[in-house]
A and B are shown apart, each in its own frame.
Chain A
Amino acid sequence: MAARRPRRRTTRSGWTEAHVRRLFWRAGFGATPAEARRWAGRGRAATLRWVVDGGPGPQLRGAAPTVNGKPLDPANEYGHDVLWWLDRMVRSQRPLVEKMTLFWHDHLATADQDTPLMLAQNQTLRRGALGSFRGLLGAVTRDPAMQLFLSLADSDKAAPNENYARELMELFTLGSGYTERDVRQAARALTGWQSRYANDHFQGIRFRPEAHDAGIKRIFGRSGRFGTDAVLDLVVAHPKHAPFLVSKLWSFFVSEPPRRATVRGLASIYRRSGLRIKPVVRAILSHPSLYRALDAPDMVKAPVVLVAGGLRASGQGVHTDDWVWLLSNMGQTLFSPPSVAGWEWGPAWMSSNSMRARFDFANVMLNQPQLKVPDDSGNPRLAAADQLRRASGATGGPWVSGRAHAALMSLASGTYADLKTDDDQGRRNRATLLQRSLRHLLISGPDAQLH
């Protein structure tokens, strides 16, 4: 059935399928109708616990995908890195971990590096996705892909490269509240990392004390013989850091900007926990703002959320490499963010062109076995509401607005208007086309772009 009118299965806390759907979309990649029913029944606390802390059992459910008859080869085959991660998003039983890995891939954006390095970085981000921010920052600062991308590798005391120091403060931790001098001094403190090559092949990064500037630096008004870890300690202790990071996390999950009091509250949770990410995310996912206007989703789905969500909803895995060019045309190629500032989220995802790509996405979806409507399978005796129910069932009961629902109903009920009542073959054909159209519009329409 069209998800517009969810069954009012509520617990005493007022926790409905619509709440589950909102939470699962924002914290992951959507809920199947079965998941929505199950977690609406179990209540708010249990659902949040499962989403944030995870449940027992394996992290990935179902069989690993094959594409063109072969298992994925993310390190070597073009586009398979994208498919490999997409598959995790689809099959994960810890969707929040994948979603947060995506957050960090955007927030600590790295691009333009060899695929094996990017895949290794992805594992680092996943391991630290909900842990200590300082721990994650330390790991990413030492990460070869990041070091090569932002020229921290081979920045030596003779000519400190300011690239990493600058982005560390501007994009990763502070946003404001530091000076050019802080950047330059931090760049000195961060020197000493060196890339190693053998036969033109990258061998890794190592720290060479003789390339490190061991002198006294002055950062944020404090002086010392700071090194890499001291710089990281200083930036996360900076008063701007907590509000900066919790605001960024908030805007990943909630479309309306956070109130000042909310930022203060989240920053305090973050600090009290010893700069751990999970308590902040738990607080955001529990916040009433996340559940506002359940009948009018207002956040644009990122392309990869649309694709992973569409596959999850219709109960299928990654079995074609078409998702690679589709995601690229929609403007989001995983492992290849457009700049060190990551992707532009929200309304910026939408354009005539990306919409066109999302329309194509629905066409490819219609070609998948779970959604394919066989030739001559139409049933013209099915009532309009039943046609729509069938299409909605196949696509995982996506949300549609009242007006869109009315337009689809009117499409379904008017589809035979120009045919003679005894034109059986014509009516059967038209019923087939109608079922295809309804499925397509449920996947491609403007409502499907929102969560």
Chain B
Amino acid sequence: MPSHDAHKGCNDFRQTSEATRRRWLGPSLTRRQVLGAGLGFGLSVYGARALPLTRMLEAAEAQAAAAPNAPVLVSVFLPGGCDLLNTIVPLNDFGRYADLRKHIRLDGAPALGGSGLGIHPALTTGARGGIKGLYEAGKVGLLPGIDYANPDLSHFHSRHFWETGLITQDAAPGWLGRWLDHHGSPDNALQGLSLDYSLSPVMRSGGAPVAAVYSPGEAKLYINGTWGKGLDQALAAWDRISASRPRGPGPAAAYGAARLAKQVGDRLAPYAKQNDRGPDPLAPPVPYPAGNELGKRLGRLAALISLPLGVRVATVDAKGEFDTHDNQPGDLDKALRSTGEALAAFQLDLETRGVADRVLTLVWSEFGRRPQDNDSMGTDHGAGGIAMVVGSRANAGVLSAYPSLSALDREENLQVTIDFRRVYASLIEQWLGTSAADVIPNAATFGRVQLVR
């Protein structure tokens, strides 16, 4: 097994490469607008209008039409390792909690009725009382103590395990990508959607088409400095070129990808903004928190789910600092607030659109944090984190045992009370309605937890 060296403290974070670090700190890398300066953007949509949509409607609409009420599973990742103890506070063991959290104890966390637990106040804001409101309305199932045996406290390793559903350092498709390999369509890339510029490793498949789409406007293939009829002609040439079906795995992959990339852009073109100031065809029917990147993406996702595009699984990454080695009180408050408010708006949005009964969201993080706080007003990487399922049909309540604060493991970490693969297997069976065994190896050994009602 990989080492536990990360226990040694914050060094683990400092030692990580800038690239990995960047992934937790949000997209501060400026993504230059490729959609050319000036002329391009507004005019390029003219091209989309003129294109015959029928051909690319086929795959997506066929899939959507075949199963208009097919359940959709959304994965929301909290990057960095979200702290359990200050997110869901063990009010019923507050003395011990206060001993462990000498510097960053959270006082006055609102109680979650009857559970003996409290919730971070930042999760009580937003639409209809935020996450706390949703919990009380029976739409949130909490999974404290979630992890796996002998947890690896490297962000890199642990994430990889969660992303793939496999405890391995080898490269592997993501667990949702593998589900699509078994149960998805062979020709609709929108069935597996990462609301991002690049594909989430969770969604990487072994062959099933999937797509990363930040917004419909940016999915469209567009050639810098061309527009109108000239662009139409060039894209028609792209279609003619990529229609070839050459032999051999390399050429077949290149040509297949060329067709799919075009399909995704064309399929979403009707939902692209006409120009920067024009109305957004995907504008949500309910208010989302302002300046909230997760909310913006979830709002788009809700709209795409409600359209006949055949979306079955989707991933979105939350923003904010969950890797709270220092300044945890401020950072965690901010990160939980923006995440909770976005999720609350998303749920209201889905209900307003009338699709809430077929959407379930899993919120997860790569690990938890050490019960004992450090001397920098923070916490280091630890075992036994927090995940939750959110949705109108989520099995509400506290669905796993809250780890004991007095019986820590030999590394002074929380005991793991539920394996994340038990949650994956349960979601696959109870929500997606297929056997878990073809996605999660040895699925039977992990047992099940009721996540859906």
Contacts and interface: CB of A to CB of B under 8 A. Distances in A.
B34 A363 contact: yes
A350 B221 contact: no
Contact of B15 (A155, A202, A441): A202
B32 A411 contact: no
A151 B34 contact: no
A154 B224 contact: no
Contact of A401 (B225, B230, B244): B244
Contact of A200 (B11, B155, B227): B11
Contacts, number: 232
Given A197-B11, A335-B17, A352-B189, A346 B250 contact: yes
A34 to B, nearest CB: 27
Interface in B239-272: 240-242, 244, 246, 248-258, 260-261, 263-265
B224 A440 contact: yes
Of the listed residues A341, A354, A355, the one surrounded by the most CB atoms of chain B closer than 10 A to its CB is A355
A328 to B, nearest CB: 6
Of the listed residues B171, B240, B242, the one surrounded by the most CB atoms of chain A closer than 10 A to its CB is B171
A333 B219 CA distance: 22
A324 B233 contact: no
Nearest to A324: B29
Interface string B197-233: 1110100000001111000000101111111011101
A352 B209 contact: yes
Given A436-B226, A441-B241, A114 B17 contact: yes
Interface in B186-202: 189, 194, 197-199, 201
Given A79-B29, A329-B197, A363-B34, A441 B238 contact: yes
Contacts of B154: 112
A373 B225 CA distance: 9
A379 to B, nearest CB: 15
Interface residues of A, number: 88
Contacts of B212: 353, 356
B249 A440 contact: no
A346 B249 contact: yes
Contacts of A348: 253
A430 B230 contact: yes
A363 B223 contact: yes
A45 interface: no
A368 B412 CA distance: 56
B211 A163 contact: no
B225 A433 contact: yes
Interface stretch (A128-136, A230-238, A294-302, A311-319): A294-302
A392 interface: no
Interface stretch (A85-93, A215-223, A442-450): A442-450
A415 interface: yes
Interface string B1-24: 111010000110011111110100
Interface of B: 1-3, 5, 10-11, 14-20, 22, 29, 31-32, 34, 36, 154-156, 160, 169-171, 189, 194, 197-199, 201, 209-212, 219, 221-227, 229-231, 233-234, 236-238, 240-242, 244, 246, 248-258, 260-261, 263-265
Given A355-B261, A356-B219, 4 more contacts: A161-B3, A296-B246, A356-B221, A434-B234
25 contacts: A112-B16, A113-B16, A114-B14, A155-B3, A329-B198, A335-B17, A336-B20, A341-B170, A350-B253, A351-B199, A351-B209, A352-B260, A352-B261, A352-B263, A353-B261, A356-B219, A408-B241, A411-B236, A433-B231, A434-B233, A437-B237, A440-B226, A446-B255, A450-B250, A450-B251
